[in-house]
Amino acid sequence: MKKELLDVIFKSEKRKEILILLQDGSKEMEDILQSLNSSRQALLPQIRILEEHYLVSQEKDTYELTTIGKLIIDEMVPFVNTVDALDVDIDYWGTRRLDFIPPHLIKRISELGKCEVVNPPLNEAYELNKQVVEDCYKSKSVFIISTFFHPMYPTLFSKLIENNVNVYAIFSQDVVNLIRSNYYADYLELRAQNLVHLFMYTKKMNLQAVVCNDHCLLMRLLKSNDGVDNKHVVCFNPCALEWGKEVFDCYMKNSTPITEL
């Protein structure tokens, strides 16, 4: 009696790994063994099950996905990647507001990959993430969305300018009002720089901050009850950087350039 396909695919990590590996094309057995760091004796029974369920076919010592296998794996990989991304810390993702993410990008949240959830120690609770800041200094461009104003922003922006980094920042109305009241001199100095481009988003943004540079993506998310804390997520997957830039572009479309305060 044959197993159900869901059991075939998901009840064995080895079978799942074989299917994902073969998505890129046919592989010889030796290549499969090396990629999965497994022995022939351990892998052959799993391959036989995949063959019996018409997911994998064999010619001599080479294996490839069948038409049915390709159909299933093309649907399965985004699902598995989404689970892997969220499973890094489901307690974090499950208690955060994600409705700031445009619908077409929430469907592609798997592109974040396995991100790192950072919970700063108390003595660093009010500091910017040092690694992300250093990565910003080494980037050609930095994209920022922020609904709060960190006291280190003026220093950060000045050092980015010194490093010839293009800065694109979208601020909420409240942040713009704060800059007008308390940081007007800093604003005038930044406005004189061709590298800095400031924008205002007047609608509600259900996030604390999103920062994307050439090396990583940082997201500081609101709790589900709109509460705030210092936990944040940092992603290094190249696809995550493009994903973060697309989030910025979506907000940019509905933002207004700040030419004067």
Q: Name the band, by pLDDT with cuts 50, 70 and 90, for residue 185.
A: confident
pLDDT of residue 121: 84
> Which of these, 204, 202, 211, 196, lies nearest to 255 by C-alpha position?
202
Given phi > 0 = left and psi -120 to 50 = alpha, else beta, which region is 45? alpha
Contact 3, 34 (CB under 8 A): no
Q: Which residue has the tokens 């499950």?
A: 94
Domain locations in the chain as residue ranges: 5-80, 91-257
Task: Decide whether 5-80 matches 91-257 in CATH topology.
Answer: no
pLDDT of residue 1: 58
Structure tokens at 133: 């800041």
Q: Name the band, by pLDDT with cuts 50, 70 and 90, for residue 261.
A: low
Which 3 state secondary structure label does DSSP give 90? helix
118/196 Cα distance (integer angstroms): 28
Which 3 state secondary structure label does DSSP give 59? strand
Residues in the chain: 261
5-80 belongs to which CATH class? mainly alpha
- pLDDT tens per residue, range 206-257: 999 999 999 999 999 999 999 999 999 999 999 999 999 999 999 999 999 9
- Residue 122: is its pLDDT beyond 90? no
Phi and psi at residue 227, in whole multiples of 5°? Answer: -70, 165
189/228 Cα distance (integer angstroms): 31
Strand partners, 102: none
Structure tokens at 184: 């007007």
Average pLDDT, rounded, for the chain? 92
Question: Which DSSP state fits 226?
Answer: S
Q: Which residue has the tokens 């308390």?
A: 182
pLDDT of residue 145: 98
Which 3 state secondary structure label does DSSP give 247? helix
- Residue 260: is its pLDDT beyond 70? no
- pLDDT tens per residue, range 18-71: 999 999 999 999 999 999 999 999 999 999 999 999 999 999 999 999 999 999
186/149 Cα distance (integer angstroms): 13
- Residue 187: is its pLDDT beyond 80? no
124/80 Cα distance (integer angstroms): 34
CATH tag for 91-257 (out of 1.20.58.220, 3.30.870.10, 1.10.510.10, 1.10.10.10): 3.30.870.10
pTM comes to 0.84
